[in-house]
Amino acid sequence: MDFSAALPTFVITLREGVEAALVVGIVLALLKKAKQTKLNRWVYLGIVVGIIASGLVGLLIGWIFQLLSASNSPLGAVIEPFLEAAFGLGAIAMLSWMLIWMTQQAKSMKSQVEGAVNAALEKNTAAGWGIFTLIFIAVLREGFETVLFIIGKFQQGLIPTIGALSGLAVAAGIGVLLFKWGIKINIRRFFQIMGVLLLLIVAGLVISALGDLNEGMRTLSQMNRQSEGFCFYYERFAKNPSCILGPMVWDLSKILPQQQFPGLILRTLFGYTDKLYQVQAIAYVLFLFSIGGLYFRSLNSKTPVPQKNSKDPLTNTEKSASS
């Protein structure tokens, strides 16, 4: 059994899970400060319902995926790679947005969460539902992004799900270390490292999604003579061409095959392929320069630092959330 496919989802859920754990920890600390610990049950309920909802979304999307691609007709063989490409592109968009936007928002996470909790507490009768909604949305948002990524790698079976669950477990452990035991962890450095890994993982997903799209177009072009034109690269235009991805950039299948170690690890974690085509290479470089540039710019952007009260129990939390 190939457990290397669990690595990307482990990294993603670890990062996303820690971010959700920070929100949960901040809310619990604020409720303790406001002497409203009776509302803690709404926090835990939001966590459980958010995880269940994320799982149900994953099962629904997976069922639709299987239903559309399980046909015995030639059309089923065409639909599957197109679906994988579509979910891959969706995961690229969502994870890229999360990587940049959430990095910027995390710098003011504590103040945003504090404002939402205070607004909920002001509504005496609906305070519990307000807390529940805040936690539920935080957990569901992270879960949905992970579900999209897992579905994008659906052909790898249940192994990515194991990685996702492991990442959530470790993230929960980090949350306990931070808020229950008061152990100091450099969360800013953690998010920076996880962000770079995530950037490389999503860049690899660009290569994989384009490969799925190419396979779908190739299968479609072979169905009948009318669809032959979908593959517009031919031997007379380029040596060793793909269907729609242009000529081959490299063929390392004999030097570093993607089905053997260490190529297998590089493939599952960073999207390595032993046969890389021109469009894939260009898209990979453009993604790293554009999204990577925006990400590192967001890390370097400065935000005003609020004055901290040394007696405020949330001071360490605020430092941790500032990623």
Using pLDDT thresholds of 50, 70 and 90, give the confidence band for residue 317.
Answer: very low
Q: In this predicted structure, what is the pLDDT of residue 238?
A: 56
Give CB contacts under 8 A, 24+ apart, made by 55-58: 55/143, 57/143, 57/144, 57/147, 58/143, 58/147, 58/150, 58/151
Could you read off the pLDDT of 107-140 as tens digits, one per residue? 666 677 777 787 777 766 677 788 888 888 888 8
Q: What pLDDT score does 227 carry?
A: 65
Do residues 46 and 134 lie in contact, with contact meaning Cβ atoms separated by under 8 Å? yes
Question: First vs last Cα of the chain: how many Å apart?
Answer: 36
What's the token pair of residue 198? 């995530």
**Considering Cα of 244, then 250, then 254, then 255, what sign does the dihedral take?**
negative
| CA atoms lying within 13 Å on the CB side of residue 186 | 5
DSSP symbols for 254-317: TTS-TTSTTHHHHHHHH---SEEEHHHHHHHHHHHHHHHHHHHHHHH---PPPP--TT-TTHHH
3-state secondary structure at position 208: helix
Q: What is the mean pLDDT of the chain?
A: 76
Q: Which of 29-33, 49-53, 277-281 has the lowest mean pLDDT?
A: 29-33
Cβ(81)–Cβ(215) below 8 Å: yes
Q: Where are the beta strands (DSSP E) in the chain?
A: 248-251, 275-277
How many residues are present in the chain? 323
pTM over 0.85, yes/no: no
So what's the pLDDT on residue 61? 78
- At 282, the pLDDT band (50, 70, 90 cuts) reads very high
Show Cβ contacts of residue 293 under 8 Å, excluding neighbours closer than 6 positions.
none
Specify which residues 247 forms β-bridges with: 241
pLDDT per residue over 192-214, tens digit each?
888 888 888 888 889 988 988 88
Query: What would the mean pLDDT of 38-63 be, rounded to a whole number?
Result: 85
Under the banding of pLDDT at 50, 70 and 90, the label for residue 220 is: confident
Least trusted range by pLDDT, from 1-5, 257-261, 271-275: 1-5
Before 313, cis peptide (omega within 30)?
no
Label residue 153 by pLDDT band (50, 70, 90).
low
CA 75, CA 67: separation in Å to the nearest integer?
Answer: 12
Highest mean pLDDT among 14-23, 93-102, 250-259, 276-285: 276-285
Domain boundaries, the chain: 3-302
Q: CA 90, CA 94: separation in Å to the nearest integer?
A: 6
pLDDT of residue 281: 92
pLDDT at 228: 66
The DSSP call for residue 123 is S
pLDDT attached to residue 71: 57
pLDDT number for residue 99:
80
Rounded Cα distance between 58 and 4, Å, is: 21
Instruction: Examine the pLDDT at 314 and tell me if it is beyond 50.
Output: no
pLDDT of residue 287: 93
**pLDDT band of 178, cuts 50, 70, 90:** confident
